[in-house]
Amino acid sequence: MDGGGEAPDHYFTERPRSRSARRTLRFLYRGEVLSFEVDRGIFAASGLDPGTALLVEAMAPGPSEAILDLGCGWGAVGVAAAKAAPRGRVVLVDVNRRATGLAKGNLARNGIAGAEVRVGSLYGPVAGERFDLIVSNPPYRAGRPTILALLEGAPDHLRPGGRLLIVGKGSQGILFYQHWLEDRWERVEVLGRGGGYRVVQAVGPPTSRQA
CATH number at residue 148: 3.40.50.150
Q: Is residue 198 part of a domain?
A: yes
Other C-beta atoms closer than 10 Å to the C-beta of 178 total 18
| pLDDT value, residue 21 | 65
Q: Rounded distance, CA 32 to CA 28, Å?
A: 5
Q: Is residue 8 part of a domain?
A: no
| pLDDT value, residue 178 | 98
Number of domains in the chain: 1
| pLDDT value, residue 176 | 98
Other C-beta atoms closer than 10 Å to the C-beta of 29 total 18
| pLDDT value, residue 3 | 31
Q: Is residue 64 part of a domain?
A: yes
Largest CA distance in the chain: 50
For the chain, the residue count is: 211
| pLDDT value, residue 94 | 95
| pLDDT value, residue 167 | 98
**Helical residues (DSSP H) of 13-142, grouped into ranges:** 50-58, 76-84, 97-109
Angle between helices 174-182 and 144-153 (to 10 degrees): 30
Q: Rounded distance, CA 111 to CA 122, Å?
A: 26
| pLDDT value, residue 18 | 59
Q: Is residue 211 part of a domain?
A: no
Residue ranges, the chain, pLDDT below 70: 1-21, 41, 43-44, 205-211
Q: Is residue 113 part of a domain?
A: yes
Q: Is residue 210 part of a domain?
A: no
| pLDDT value, residue 12 | 52
Cβ–Cβ under 8 Å, residues 30 and 59: no
- Name the nearest CA neighbour of 47 among 34, 30, 58: 34
Residues of the domain holding 122: 23-203
pTM of the model: 0.88
| pLDDT value, residue 130 | 97
DSSP code of 143? Answer: -
Nearby residues of 120 by Cβ (< 8 Å), 6 or more positions away: 93, 95
| pLDDT value, residue 190 | 98
- Report strand pairing: 23-29 vs 32-38: antiparallel
